[in-house]
Amino acid sequence: MPSIKLSSDSNITSNPHKFLDLSSVTELPDTHAWTPQPDHECSSPTPTPTPTPTPSKCNDESVPIIDLNNENATELIGHACRTWGVFQIINHNISQKLLDEVELAGKRLFSLPMQQKLRAARPHDGISGYGVARISSFFPKLMWSEGFTILGSPLEHALQLWPQDYHKFCDTIEKYQKEMQKLANRVMWLMLGSLGITEEDLNWAGGGGGGGGGGCAALQLNSYPACPEPERAMGLAAHTDSTILTILQQSNTSGLQVTREGAVGWITVPPHRGALVIHVGDLMHILSNGLYPSVLHRAVVNRTRHRLSVAYLYGPPSSVKISPLTKLVDNLHPPLYRPITWSEYLGTKAKHFDKALKSVRLCAPRNGFVDNNNNNNNDHNSTVKVG
Ligand SMILES: O=C(O)CCC(=O)C(=O)O
C-alpha cells in the first residue's frame, strides 16, 4: 500500500457548493461556471459506443485501439506511447461481466443521498474516500464531478456507506483490483519491452507474466452527472497522471479528451464496449527518459447523460526510486530526471501540479535529443528537437 498524500483542497473547503448534489441542479451555479470550453463535443446527447471495437494502427485521427492478442502488440504499444501517450486495448482478459459489475457498483455508490456519501468523505489531508476532484485546489472553479478513491481494501468505506450491506461492493472492488493489478503489470511490461527493457533491467517490477508484480495502485471512481450547461462546465480539468500507467474504464457516454503533439485542440477518446483506455503517466515519462510522454487529458460533461469512469492508477512500490532507465541513457542521451519515489513525486505534484515534471528535471537535452516533455501548456506533449 503506498503511503501517499495528495494535495489538500483547503481553498474550497469552506465553499458550501463543494458538496452540492449536482444531479439535482437545474442551473449552473457561478461556483461551477468555467469559461466556455473549446472542443466541447459532448453537449449533445450522443452516446458513442461501438459494439465491436476494431483494432487500428496508429493513424493521425483517432486514438489507437490495440488487440493484446496481436503478435505485434509490443511494437504497436511502443508506437502509441511515443506518438499519443494513450491508446485503447481489447482482448485484455478482463471479463465484460466484471467491467459491468464495477460500473454498477460505482453507479450504486454515487446515487446514494449526499448525507450518506459524506459518511465516507475523504479526510482533509487524506486520499481515500468520497469528495471533489483532488486537483480542485489548483483551480478557481469547482468541477462538475464527484469522486471516490480507494486505496487497498474498500472495507472501511463500504461499512460507512452500507453498514448492513457492504459485502457486494467489497467483493466487486476486490475482484476488480486483483484483475487490474495483473493487467497493469502486463501492460507496463509491454511498454517496457517496446523500449528494449528486460526483467534484469528492472528488478522491482515483477516479470509481466500475469502475477501482478510489485506495483502499488489506487482505484478512482468518477461520476459526471448530466449538466445544464456543459459548455461552461468542466468534469475534470486537464492534467497528467502521476502514475506509471493508468487503466481507464469509461461508461457508454463520451467525455474523455486528450491532446496530442501536432494536433490542434482536444481529441475525444470514444468509449467502446469492452475496451480499456491506457494513459502513459508521469513516472513512465521519467523511466523512458521522455520518450513516452505522459498524456494531458480532461473530462467534459454532457447535457443529458450521466457518465461514469473508473481509473486504476498504477505505480511502483512506494520506496522504489524511479529514474530514467540505464539502457536508455548514454552520452548523447543524458538522464533528464532525477531519481524520485512515487510518494515524493506525489508530494511534488501536490505542490507544483502541471510543473511537477519540470521541477524534477535535471538538465536541458543535448544536441539532437528528442524530448517529448516540453510543452508551453502543461510541459508535455510536444516533441522538441533541441539543436
Ligand atoms: O473520467 C475520465 O475520463 C478521466 C478520469 C481521469 O482522468 C482521472 O481519474 O484521473
pLDDT tens for 57-69 read 444 589 999 999 9
Positions marked active-site:
307
Nearest ligand 1 atom to alpha carbon 241: 10
What is the pLDDT, as a whole number, of residue 125?
Answer: 82
Q: How confident is the model at residue 366 (pLDDT cuts 50, 70, 90)?
A: low
What is the pLDDT, as a whole number, of residue 364?
Answer: 65
Residue 140 confidence (pLDDT) above 50: yes
Nearest ligand 1 atom to alpha carbon 269: 3
Q: Scan for cell 523500449, then name that residue.
A: 195
Q: What is the whole-number distance in angstroms between the Cα of residue 220 and the centre of ligand 1?
A: 8
What is the pLDDT, as a whole number, of residue 50?
Answer: 52
Closest-CA residue to 145 (of 314, 38, 18): 18
Residue 124 confidence (pLDDT) above 80: yes
φ/ψ bin of 6: left (φ > 0), alpha (ψ from -120 to 50), beta (otherwise)? beta
Q: How confident is the model at residue 1 (pLDDT cuts 50, 70, 90)?
A: very low
Q: How confident is the model at residue 316 (pLDDT cuts 50, 70, 90)?
A: very high
Residue 69: Cβ-neighbour burial (10 angstroms; 0-12, 13-18, 19+): exposed
Stated pTM of the model? 0.89
State the average pLDDT over residues 121-145: 94
Q: What is the whole-number distance in angstroms between the Cα of residue 218 and the centre of ligand 1?
A: 13
**Dist CA 114 CA 84 (whole Å):** 38
What is the pLDDT, as a whole number, of residue 45?
Answer: 41
* CA-derived radius of gyration, the chain: 20
Q: What is the whole-number distance in angstroms between the Cα of residue 311 and the centre of ligand 1?
A: 6
Residue 210 confidence (pLDDT) above 70: no
**Dist CA 334 CA 314 (whole Å):** 26
What is the pLDDT, as a whole number, of residue 60?
Answer: 58
Kindly write down the DSSP assignment for every residue of 197-212, as one continuous string.
Answer: --GGG-GGG--SSSS-
Residue 7 confidence (pLDDT) above 90: no
**Between residues 368 and 73, the one the model is more confident about:** 73
Kindly write down the DSSP assignment for every residue of 281-299, as one continuous string.
Answer: -HHHHHHTTTSSPPPPEEE
State the average pLDDT over residues 236-258: 98
Inter-CA distances, 384 with 80, 104, 338, 371, Å: 18, 43, 20, 6
Query: Domain ranges in the chain?
Result: 65-381
Q: How confident is the model at residue 262 (pLDDT cuts 50, 70, 90)?
A: confident
Indicate whether residue 309 lines ligand 1 (CB < 6 A): yes
What is the pLDDT, as a whole number, of residue 291?
Answer: 98
> Are the beta carbons of 12 and 142 closer than 8 angstroms?
yes
What is the pLDDT, as a whole number, of residue 380?
Answer: 36
pLDDT tens for 26-42 read 999 999 999 987 777 64
What is the pLDDT, as a whole number, of residue 209?
Answer: 59
Q: What is the whole-number distance in angstroms between the Cα of residue 222 and the centre of ligand 1?
A: 7
What is the pLDDT, as a whole number, of residue 109?
Answer: 98
DSSP summary character for residue 143: -
Residue 15 confidence (pLDDT) above 70: no
As its CATH architecture, domain 65-381 has: Sandwich (2.60)
For ligand 1, atom 3, the nearest C-alpha belongs to 256
Q: How confident is the model at residue 126 (pLDDT cuts 50, 70, 90)?
A: confident
Residue 353 confidence (pLDDT) above 90: yes
State the average pLDDT over residues 170-179: 98
Indicate whether residue 311 lines ligand 1 (CB < 6 A): yes
Residue 171 confidence (pLDDT) above 60: yes
Nearest ligand 1 atom to alpha carbon 279: 7
What is the pLDDT, as a whole number, of residue 386?
Answer: 21
Residue 12 confidence (pLDDT) above 50: no
What is the pLDDT, as a whole number, of residue 379?
Answer: 38
Q: What is the mean pLDDT of the chain?
A: 87
Closest-CA residue to 361 (of 329, 328, 338): 338
Indicate whether residue 323 lines ligand 1 (CB < 6 A): no
